[in-house]
Structure 1
Amino acid sequence: MHLSNRPAQLNPEWSLGYQVRRCHRRFDRLLNAMLAKHDLKTGFWYYLRVLWIRDGVTQKYLSDMTNVTENTTVSIINNMMQHGLVERTRDKVDRRKLSVTLTQRGKALEAELMQYAIDINRIAVAGIDPAEVATCVDVLSRMSANLAAEFDSIPNTPAED
């Protein structure tokens, strides 16, 4: 038996991380092209999605739901305010907290932008059996949970961005 000093190899085509990232980048590029018609950045999409489900939340909540650091969230929210998508208001219950709420423009974009997401997902699953898609979603969800649990078990890990 010959022992090599070379590290173990993983062909990218068989790497789950590589495949997920490649697929995500292609979703992202299509979505970015569609959002550009509205002069919107892809980063806004993730926050809009959260706010369309639950408007009037704290920046901390947005950070948690988008899995982005609070500093990054503050920057994106500031940028979204400049685009007239959201506004900050003092929380009515706890005046120390700021709530992020959609503006009329932010609310009005929901139908059209959600249709883009629906269309992109339809394109992605074209020719794939719905049962396979359901299995894929289930497997990816469980893989994500496994990776999150492992990350959470590491002491002193920095916040994700």
Structure 2
Amino acid sequence: MLNKKDWRDAVPQDRLAHLIKDARRAMERALQIRLIDHSVSFGHWSFLRILWEHDGLTQRELSELAGTSAPTTFAAIKAMESLGYVHRSQKAGNKKNIYISLTEKGRALKQHLLPLAEEVNAVAINGLALEDVLIARKVLVQIAENLSSDEKDLHESENRRVPSTRELGRLLLLDRPD
């Protein structure tokens, strides 16, 4: 079996998407190792980060900002509520929207967890020149903007969008040979 270094030698000109995925996965694992000491899963991290900046969002707004499906957000919020990090509420006269707010316990996590994320970022860029880090940031932001624009164009011109997991399952079943 090839180890990671052998694999990289075997595919020296790997696609950028794979390299970004590998770097993302490594950073997520590094952060998860640190978060677990505070009983926080990596899945909850994104929601906490958003709520620390924009407390009191609707569940739908939180889902959109986190880039997760409604069922994923619901499950995470339910788990975070049982841990005492958030609470759900409705406003008088609006029973449709569910608002997600941090508890004191959820707010207090920020002072412990943000330094861990900063530590992971420092480890990730160790040995890189500041100029290279700034170029990498610029490149990654431009890649994200290009792909976001492409997705918007596809949706507007061809009515194409990312299907939900349920829709994708149905599409795959239709494409299967009998």
Could you state the TM-score of these two structures normalised by the residue count of structure 2? Answer: 0.78
Q: What is the 5 A alignment of 1:8-87?
A: 11=11, 13-87=13-87
Q: What runs of 5+ residues in structure 2 fail to find an aligned partner?
A: 1-10, 166-178
**Could you say which residue in structure 1 is the equivalent of 2:161?**
157
User: What amino acid sits opposite 1:41 in the alignment?
Assistant: S
User: What amino acid sits opposite 2:142 in the alignment?
Assistant: R
In the TM superposition, residue 159 of structure 1 has moved relative to its aligned partner by 4.8
More relative contact order in 1 or in 2 (CA 8 Å, sep 6+)? 1
Q: How many residues align?
A: 151
**1:135 match: secondary structure:** helix
**Could you say which residue in structure 1 is the equivalent of 2:90?**
90
Change in 2 beyond 3 A, CA 1:13/1:41: farther
**Could you say which residue in structure 2 is the equivalent of 1:102?**
102
Change in 2 beyond 3 A, CA 1:151/1:12: farther
In the TM superposition, residue 160 of structure 1 has moved relative to its aligned partner by 6.7
Deviation per CA, 1:26-82, whole angstroms, max 9, x where unpaired? 111111111111222100000000000010101111111111111211111111111
In the TM superposition, residue 132 of structure 1 has moved relative to its aligned partner by 1.2
**1:121 match: secondary structure:** helix
Q: What runs of 5+ residues in structure 1 fail to find an aligned partner?
A: 1-10
**2:96 match: secondary structure:** coil
Q: Percent identity?
A: 27
Higher helix fraction (1 or 2): 2
Change in 2 beyond 3 A, CA 1:93/1:141: farther
**Could you say which residue in structure 1 is the equivalent of 2:176?**
none
> RMSD in angstroms over aligned alpha carbons?
1.8
**1:14 match: secondary structure:** coil
In the TM superposition, residue 84 of structure 1 has moved relative to its aligned partner by 1.0
Alignment check: 8 A CA contact 1:86 1:100 kept: yes
